[in-house]
Structure 1
Amino acid sequence: MYDSASDKPCVVLVPDGPNVIEHYDRLIELLTPHLRVVCFDMPGFGHSLPSPSYEHSLNQGAAAVLGVLDGLNIKSTTLAFSCANGFYALRAAQIAPDRILHLVLSQTPSLTAMHRWVDRIIPWPLKTPVVGQIVGWLFQKKAANKWYNVALPKATRAQPFQDKALNALNNGACFCLAGVVQGLCREHEESLSNVTTPITVIWGTKDRSHKPTDPNSLCKSVPHAEVVQFQDCGHFPDVEQPERYAEILLERIAKAVKNHHVQTDDPAI
């Protein structure tokens, strides 16, 4: 976990596996002069090993997020999550809307669209309980390495991303793709339909894995979501174009904090 531990407004970042905290070095560097930046790995990814009872459900993921906020005494924050982690952010905002000022979600479609993505992209063994966990563990390095070749634009060098991921995996990190796939495939889109927190979706249009996915699909569940497209990015707009991403994030947080102060007259963030 990384925590800049300042008294500035807070943003919480979560890497989208096989990305790890080290992939966020540049984004963290850009944000820390302006924000309290917290970056941690969700259970099952990076060096956050999941407990045997952790099934990657929406409720468990949200509890993990809110547990970090409690442990770090963060009263309110913006969550800047990506892909599948965005669903855990949405559930956290449902559970504690007074604590989540804004959601900035990269490459997070609707749950229905995510289920279709799983059907297209994920090999069937990974979708099978127990078998998927075994296969995923045996081939996690190979899967991580190949993933970047599909997720990034053809013009983007995959090796810098691969090197950081493989270095983490070689040093004990985990990539529980089967677990998160199985966990979220048990969830239903309707369960995320009443989120009221302001939402910005940042979508990389050159993500070949999501080529058939509608970038606006999340708006079917949360119509107030604003979608911003990065035409030169793939699956990781936050780390592919950190300067542009940071600019949008800082603008959204400034607005969210201002609105929060107006509503509560409470300067504590």
Structure 2
Amino acid sequence: MSSNEAIPKITSRSVTVGKRQIFINELGQGYPLLMLHGGGAGASGLSNYSKNIEALAKHFRVLVADMPGYGKSTKGVNRDDPFGDLASAMLGLLDALDIKRAHVVGNSLGGACALRMALDAPKRVSALVLMGPGGINTTRSLPTPGLNQLLNYYSGEGPTLEKITRFIREYLVYDGSQVSDAMIEERFRSSIDPEVVAAPPLRRPKGLKAALRMDFTRDARLAQCQVPTLVLWGSADKVNRPSGGEALRKRMPNCDLYLFNKTGHWVQWERAAEFNAVTTGFLMNRVPA
């Protein structure tokens, strides 16, 4: 599934948030659920959640955004505080949609954005589901091989089909044979958008201060965050270390942790049926009265 053609009832539009245009896809009715994609080259909301939108939209008003720097949204992210910039944009999106409070689901970079939203504006986030989120213990150990692949995509000879194929099939998922050539080619085309090449949205931190700000385990607010949180992590994740799940569980007072065996960085895609079931159950039980 590579576009909203496979989800015919979905509606899509751009929303003005400050000086940015944020592209969103919407399906379903009920309590709002904002879904935030990962930060891999060529990522977008629909490609990240193609196996989940319809299932979750049976219970929620599902809003799938292209975060700044990705898809059809305005390009460019503040390198001094990328997680904060993304979180501010997504909170601004909720404001623009007149949504006071929402559940937030985030994968990888989207998980980091979701968690930062909960720290910056806890009253706006009623529950979190985080899949292999970024920003956990990042200053306490060297980057993983998968994260290095991701961060080096635009360096050297620049983006190539070979580089993105290797990242997706060898590092993103446990079983690369499950990823179609068409999905990889679509991601590659998105990754070579001239605006993205000129200002890649995911880069190495700009200095020590930015690096420390991007490690949630160094943020004292984490231990005070009361937002109900479900962390889902593939035990074979080669991008963000699965040990990050236990780090969050220990620090956050209302955090549950599920580990998925023989699963990589893309839990919501690799284990879609189980993801849809556990996410629905967790979030349905946490809709505010």
User: What TM-score does the superposition give when structure 2 sets the normalisation length?
Assistant: 0.74
Give the counterpart letter for 1:182 in structure 2.
P
1:98 maps to which residue?
A: 123
The separation in 1 between residues aligned to 2:85 and 2:274, in whole angstroms, is 32
Do residues 74 (structure 1) and 96 (structure 2) align?
no
Pairing of 1:110-125 with structure 2 (within 5 A) = 111-113=136-138, 116=141, 118=143, 120-123=145-148
SS of the counterpart of 1:135?
coil
Cα 1:202–1:38 shift into 2, 3 Å: same
Offset at 1:198?
0.6
Cα 1:134–1:152 shift into 2, 3 Å: closer
Offset at 1:167?
3.8
The separation in 2 between residues aligned to 1:228 and 1:29, in whole angstroms, is 23
2:179 maps to which residue?
A: 158
Give 1 or 2: higher helix fraction: 1
Do residues 182 (structure 1) and 205 (structure 2) align?
yes
Do residues 14 (structure 1) and 42 (structure 2) align?
no
Offset at 1:42?
1.7
The separation in 2 between residues aligned to 1:73 and 1:6, in whole angstroms, is 17
Do residues 146 (structure 1) and 174 (structure 2) align?
no
Pairing of 1:97-246 with structure 2 (within 5 A) = 97-108=122-133, 111-113=136-138, 116=141, 118=143, 120-123=145-148, 135=155, 138-139=158-159, 142-148=162-168, 149-154=170-175, 156-160=177-181, 161-169=183-191, 174=196, 179-182=202-205, 185-187=211-213, 188=215, 189-191=217-219, 192-193=221-222, 194-210=224-240, 213-246=243-276
The separation in 2 between residues aligned to 1:248 and 1:52, in whole angstroms, is 32
SS of the counterpart of 1:245?
helix
After superposing the two structures, state which structure 1 stretch, 238-247 or 186-195, moved more: 186-195
The separation in 1 between residues aligned to 2:153 and 2:252, in whole angstroms, is 32
User: What TM-score does the superposition give when structure 1 sets the normalisation length?
Assistant: 0.79
2:18 maps to which residue?
A: none
| CA-to-aligned-CA distance 1:64-114 (integer Å, 9 cap, x gap) | 110111111222111100123222212211222222110000012662147
Give the counterpart letter for 2:132 in structure 1.
Q
The separation in 2 between residues aligned to 1:10 and 1:140, in whole angstroms, is 37
Offset at 1:204?
0.9
Do residues 50 (structure 1) and 80 (structure 2) align?
no
Contact 2:36 2:66 in 1 (8 A): yes
Give the counterpart letter for 1:230 in structure 2.
F
Match of 1:33 among 54, 58, 74: 58
The separation in 2 between residues aligned to 1:60 and 1:167, in whole angstroms, is 25
Aligned length: 254
Offset at 1:135?
2.1
| CA-to-aligned-CA distance 1:98-136 (integer Å, 9 cap, x gap) | 22110000012662147635265555995xxxxx79628
**Structure 2 unmatched runs, 5+:** 1-22
SS of the counterpart of 1:4?
strand
Offset at 1:179?
3.6
SS of the counterpart of 2:252?
coil
| Bigger RCO (CA 8 Å, 6+ sep) | 1
After superposing the two structures, state which structure 1 stretch, 212-221 or 73-82, moved more: 212-221
1:64 maps to which residue?
A: 89
1:248 maps to which residue?
A: 278
**Structure 1 unmatched runs, 5+:** 127-131, 262-269
